[in-house]
Structure 1
């Protein structure tokens, strides 16, 4: 109830949670029939997935050098945003960590105009990844909203409420002895959804001059 009034899930948040599921499986399960397809996701879905995941580095064969958060829980985009902007989009999606670290190939991905600020971030990134060591263990994508680090629709839906404030008014509405219609009216009033005269006025609506049922003013 605290997350949805009448217990009906927020459809926009539910859609975001379920769409994120495909992003998760596209990175963690290559046995699916749709693996490798160019699935389309909007900016909000990708941003939510990015904020919800970190990469535990192992062999570096699955971790993406430019995209994943593999540098102490942070990504190149967060550490060196100006340098990241100099990397072609196609290269961002293909360059793995193991490939990028070999002979410092990641430096060859930098294109376009490189100014003093980009050079500063380049040196900063160089020092951050200089001591990176790989192992024989597979890379592991970690979902930050669950204890076991694995995605679940429930944890994703709950995560969309992170930072929201709670209100105890729902207890007065639903944990009360009043008849259901009274509680429902209180819920509408709390959400400012009652069609009162002032609300009608704000929406530019007016009451009819005469009653349509009894034809009286």
Structure 2
């Protein structure tokens, strides 16, 4: 209702929105549940009109201006005190939080992620590692610790320093069940973060997850309409294809993160042609399962306008393509083949649609992209994880399979000085010997099998 009142006032010229060059009539209000941000140009007279509009909205409700904050930028900074007195709000400081996200006109630094690190430390301080098995710690890392930064990771590219700190918290909690005693890290953390079917323990890789969550916005930007899409398209795209944009100094932190994952995102899908204005003829995937620059590298190397769109190329007959030199031999044959492939295409009204290539529906999913990016090409038997035994025993068996238990031969590799002989016989102690070859191990296994038969 408040948005309707403000929009009517804009039409009547009572108030003005900001960034009118990026969206029609400018932006005046953002609302989600009970969180509201109101924007207005630097004009004290129009600001008085804006102050009256929320009062018209109050019917049984009351806006608490004392809990609100006001922020001024540019020339309005000189009148910040007047605006504060007019609205009865205190002067805010940047960054401020909206829907739990820090907002600032500059790129967010490591200090702006401090609250995420503090949440990690707060959670860890309440957990008693000594009372938790390794299975319990694994569950808590995946279900709690890895979930804490997800909201921030959905909007901003995580700085390397912050990522390193969060990974330190997670790895220390997993390996070191006593904060005051240093423990051996039995295996590299990168291998622990691999999925179980690829030989790891399935701990979420925060960096890869960050890329996948940001890619979700690229899919929405390519296929959907909305307020934020309109602002982004008019500010950064400016009628250019998404693939033609790049990260430049001074862009927002959000847009910089999208540009970091753009190439990977576009490589995992293809375009369904509409009017052809948002698809690059040579560099995007739209005709077949790979870009034309890969299918016809000899032609792409000598084409004059590499960034031409599909609409620019096929809107005329013959194709609107020029080369730096004449076509002969194999290049001429490649050109004939290319013309035959694309001449049957007819442009139609409507937006070009990006189809996600990692599932049958064509719709983007974070899970499908994460599975693709984390894939290391290995396929490991899942017998350990399918066995109906406690999780801590499964992880112990995983240690044995990976050969990382601290038997004496592994301790010697870590510069331990001592006898490598088995405590029960004269052979050197190793995982194979201790669990399978030692006469004591064989005796235990035999006794266990006899006991199992007797129980039956």
**Aligned equivalents of 2:271, 2:391: Cα separation in 1:** 52
Report Cα offsets for 1:30-67 as digits up to 9, x if no partner: 4254743623437xx72x43442111112212221112
Q: TM-score, normalised by structure 2?
A: 0.37
Give the conservation status (yes or no) of the 8 Å contact 2:282–2:300: yes
The unaligned stretches of length 5 or more in structure 2 are 1-194, 238-244, 248-258, 420-456
Distance in 1 between residues matched to 2:214 and 2:325, nearest whole Å: 34
Distance 1:7 1:163, change over 3 A: closer
- Three-state SS of the structure 1 residue aligned to 2:332 is helix
1:168 maps to 382
- Corresponding residue for residue 193 of structure 1: 404
User: In the comparison of the two structures, how many residue pairs are matched?
Assistant: 198
Quick check: which has more Rg, 1 or 2? 2
1:159 aligns to what SS in structure 2? helix
> Given the superposition, is the C-alpha separation of residues 28 and 112 from structure 1 closer, same or farther in structure 2, using an over 3 Å criterion?
farther
Taking structure 1 as reference, are residues 35 and 195 closer, same or farther at Cα in structure 2, changes over 3 Å only?
farther
Is the 1:57–1:139 Cα contact (8 Å) retained in structure 2? yes
Distance 1:184 1:21, change over 3 A: same
Q: Which has the higher helix share?
A: 2
1:31 aligned partner: 230
- Which among 67, 74, 77 is matched to residue 283 of structure 2? 67
What's 1:10 paired with? 205
Report the more deviating stretch, 5-14 or 96-105.
Answer: 5-14
| CA distance 1:199–1:13, shift in 2 (3 Å) | farther
Q: How far apart, in 2, do the equivalents of 1:199 and 1:106 lie?
A: 66
Q: 1-side partners of 2:230 and 2:313: how far apart?
A: 26
Give secondary structure in 2 for the equivalent of 1:119. helix
Which residue is 1:141 aligned to? 354
Q: Deviations over 1:132-178 (max 9, x none)?
A: 21112321110022343222212211233396524223325xx4335
Structure-to-structure mapping, 1:59-208, within 5 angstroms? 59-87=275-303, 91-93=305-307, 95-103=308-316, 104=318, 106-108=320-322, 110-111=323-324, 116-160=329-373, 161=375, 164-171=378-385, 175-178=387-390, 180=392, 182-199=393-410, 205-208=414-417
Structure 1 segments unaligned to the other structure (5+ residues): 211-217
For residues 352 and 359 of structure 2, the distance between their equivalents in structure 1, rounded to whole angstroms, comes to 18
Contact (CA 8 Å) 1:142, 1:149: kept in 2 or not? Answer: yes
- How far apart, CA to CA, are the structure 1 residues paired with 2:391 and 2:384? 15
Structure 1 length as normaliser, TM-score?
0.70
Aligned residues: CA RMSD: 3.4
The 3 A distance-change label for structure 1 pair 123 and 136 is: same
Of structures 1 and 2, the one scoring higher in RCO (CA 8 A, sep 6+) is 1
1:113-138 superposed Cα distances (whole Å, 9 cap, x missing partner): 86633333222212211222111232
